[in-house]
C-alpha cells in the first residue's frame, strides 16, 4: 500500500453507521492535526458532528484491544493507525469487524470469543505438582527456552482481529466448528507448557477444528503484537495432533506428544455465534 505523509489538513472519512437491520457508509470531513490516528478522527467526528456515533475504545495505547475496526478494508486498531499512513487522495473508510454480529455503528458483539475461551481448561499443574502432593521448592522451575517460546503468545491483547480476518469465521461463518487463531495460540501456549498436565490435543482437533486452517497466514499479518500465529502455534499444533493420532512408530514406542497428561473435563460442543 502506498503511504502518503501529510501534516494535517482536511481529510474525508466514511464511517459505517447502522445496526443489524440496515446501515451505510456515511461521509464526514474534518480538519486534522499532525500525528492524528483514526481513533482521534472518529472521536472528533463523534464530538463535533455525530454525537450518537457508537465506537468502543479504552486505552488509546494499542494495549486493550477494544478499538478494532476495518480501516480501508483491513482489520486494524484505530488507535494505532495514523492518518498520515493512509492514502491522502481517497476517503478513509472505517467499518466494524465483519466476523461478529453488529451491535451498532463500529461496535460488534465479540462475546462468542469469551464463550470459546470458557471451553479451554486453564493451566493445570501436572499431577505430581498439585497442591498437597509433596511439592518442593524448585519443582516449578522451567527452562528459559520454554518461557521464551510461550511468552510470545502471552502478548495477545484479545483484539480479535485475527479472528476477524480468518476466512473460516469471516466468510464461511464456521464459528461452530473452529475456535479461530486467537484460541489456537492459547491452546498452543498451554500445550507447550512443560508443567501443564492436561492433554488438549483431541480438543484442538475436534471441537477446536484446527484441521480447517489452511495456513493462509492472514491472521499473522494483522496481529498488532506481531505474534507468529501460524508458524509458531498452529503449524506445531497440527504436527502434534498428527503425531498423537496417526504416527504408528510413536505409538509403538509409547512416546506420543502428551503422554502422561490427563484428558480435560467433559466440554460442550463449539459455541454457536
> Residues 127, 129, 135, CA angle at the centre, nearest 5°?
140
Residues in region 77-106 near ligand SF4 by CB under 6 A: none
235-246 and 181-191 helices cross at what angle (nearest 10)? 60
Specify which residues 125 forms β-bridges with: 196
* Residue 174 interacts with ligand FES (CB under 6 A): yes or no: no
* Residue 155 interacts with ligand FES (CB under 6 A): yes or no: no
Quick one: what does residue 36 bind among ligand SF4, ligand FES, none, with the CB cut-off 5 to 8 Å set by partner type? Answer: none
Quick one: what does residue 32 bind among ligand FES, ligand SF4, none, with the CB cut-off 5 to 8 Å set by partner type? Answer: none
Q: Per residue, what are the HEC states of 169-226?
A: HHCCCCCCCCCCHHHHHHHHHHHCCCCECECCHHHHHCCCCHHHCCCCCHHHHHCCCC
* Residue 190 interacts with ligand SF4 (CB under 6 A): yes or no: no
* Residue 168 interacts with ligand SF4 (CB under 6 A): yes or no: yes
Binding mask 34-73 for ligand FES (x = CB under 6 A): -----------------------xxxx-xxxxxx------
Quick one: what does residue 217 bind among ligand SF4, ligand FES, none, with the CB cut-off 5 to 8 Å set by partner type? Answer: ligand SF4
Kind and range of the H or E run holding 117:
helix 111-118
Q: What is the DSSP letter of 85?
A: G
Kind and range of the H or E run holding 42:
helix 38-48
* Residue 166 interacts with ligand SF4 (CB under 6 A): yes or no: yes
Interface positions with ligand FES (CB under 6 A): 57-60, 62-67, 77, 79
Amino acid at each position: 500500500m502506498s503511504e502518503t505523509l501529510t501534516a494535517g489538513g482536511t481529510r474525508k472519512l466514511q464511517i459505517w453507521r447502522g445496526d443489524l437491520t440496515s446501515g451505510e457508509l456515511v461521509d464526514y470531513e474534518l480538519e486534522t492535526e499532525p500525528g492524528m490516528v483514526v481513533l482521534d478522527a472518529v472521536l472528533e467526528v463523534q464530538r463535533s458532528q455525530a454525537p450518537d456515533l457508537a465506537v468502543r475504545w479504552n486505552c488509546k495505547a494499542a494495549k486493550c484491544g477494544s478499538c478494532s475496526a476495518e480501516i480501508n478494508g483491513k482489520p486494524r486498531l484505530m488507535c494505532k493507525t495514523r492518518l498520515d499512513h493512509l492514502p491522502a487522495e481517497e476517503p478513509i473508510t472505517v467499518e466494524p469487524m465483519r466476523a461478529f454480529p453488529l451491535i451498532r455503528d463500529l461496535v460488534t458483539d465479540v462475546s462468542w470469543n469469551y464463550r470459546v475461551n470458557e471451553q479451554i481448561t486453564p493451566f493445570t499443574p501436572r499431577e505430581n505438582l498439585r497442591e498437597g502432593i509433596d511439592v518442593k521448592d524448585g519443582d516449578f522451575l522451567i527452562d528459559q527456552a520454554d518461557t521464551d517460546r510461550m511468552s510470545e503468545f502471552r502478548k495477545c491483547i484479545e483484539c480479535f482481529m485475527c479472528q476477524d480476518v480468518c476466512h473460516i469465521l469471516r466468510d464461511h461463518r464456521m464459528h461452530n466448528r473452529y475456535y479461530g487463531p486467537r484460541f489456537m495460540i492459547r491452546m498452543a501456549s498451554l500445550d507447550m507448557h512443560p508443567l501443564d498436565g492436561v492433554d488438549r490435543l483431541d480438543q484442538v482437533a475436534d471441537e477446536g477444528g484446527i484441521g480447517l486452517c489452511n495456513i493462509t497466514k492472514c491472521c499473522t499479518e494483522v496481529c498488532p503484537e506481531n505474534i507468529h500465529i501460524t508458524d509458531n502455534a498452529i503449524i506445531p499444533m497440527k504436527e502434534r495432533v498428527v503425531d498423537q493420532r496417526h504416527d504408528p512408530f510413536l505409538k509403538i514406542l509409547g512416546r506420543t506428544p502428551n503422554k502422561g497428561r490427563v484428558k480435560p473435563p467433559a466440554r460442550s460442543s463449539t459455541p454457536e455465534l
